[in-house]
Amino acid sequence: MAFNMEPLKEPRGFLRLLQWFFAMIAFATCCDFSVKMGFQITCKPDIQSNVTVTMDPITTRATYPFSLDQNTEVKFKSPVCSSGPDVKEETFSFPGTAASNAEFFVFMGVITWLYCFATLALYVFYSYLYTDEQKSYPKIDLIIAAVLAFIWLASSSGWAHGLLTVKGIAHVESWIYEDPQSPCFKADKDFKYPLIEDCKDIGAGGFGTGNASILIGFLNCFLWTCNTWFLYKETSWYRARNPGQEGLPAGNI
């Protein structure tokens, strides 16, 4: 086993370093992303008691893996806007989920990061696998790179769709009037609880981190697609079709 840094100066080695770094950034930004969402209920005066109840905002925070229908349970007092003795505490969860999309994206990032780490070690300590007569490993590396490029495209597209789902749920006015579990549910244009004057979206937090994770996912797809060309040039398939290239150093464009 000989230590050889030369492969890292070649396109395949340099790209593999970039892929290792951006795979880590991709799953880290997805896991770190969170968004606050909720709504404010405004109450009418209670004619019988001559009291207007002030409601605290009903808020929650969506975090990875974004199973909103399971991990966003909030509490409210029912009947809403009532101050009578029959008031009790109820719970409901924000609807929808983007868990499968987010988990697939993160899984892809972790697997890619580990594969890059392993292949970088192989490039540095077992570089002879790329220069032997059989040239079996370059073919395997090429096939895996092509598969990863496709899966990065699929996982990034899936997470982009999942984030759109989270954005739709975060803008609560699109669903709080139609969800029967919501305290702001309307039946025949009237609120289920008659003392509610209005329900307003308090505004969702920023989606910058989530948007960045998607862009980095597509960047990973681009890097792996580019990498397939340089890996192909390492294989015996390329050498067989271009016999005049035999004397050139590995990795030359």
Q: What is the pLDDT of residues 51-85, one digit of tens each?
A: 778 888 888 888 999 998 888 888 888 888 887 77
Spatial distance between the Cα atoms of 151 and 143, rounded to a whole number of angstroms: 12
pLDDT in the model for residue 230? 84
Choose between 242 and 190: higher pLDDT.
190
21-43 mean pLDDT: 93
Q: How confident is the model at residue 17 (pLDDT cuts 50, 70, 90)?
A: very high
pLDDT in the model for residue 73? 83
Q: How confident is the model at residue 109 (pLDDT cuts 50, 70, 90)?
A: very high
pLDDT of residue 246 exceeding 60, the answer is no
pLDDT in the model for residue 9? 83
Of 73, 58, 89, the C-alpha closest to 172 is: 58
Query: Would you tell me how many other CB atoms lie within 10 Å of the CB of residue 25?
Result: 17
222-243 mean pLDDT: 79
Tokens, residue 22? 């951006």
pLDDT of residue 211 exceeding 80, the answer is yes
Choose between 149 and 82: higher pLDDT.
149
Q: How confident is the model at residue 111 (pLDDT cuts 50, 70, 90)?
A: very high
Of 36, 59, 74, 15, the C-alpha closest to 209 is: 36
Cis omega before residue 79 (within 30°)? yes
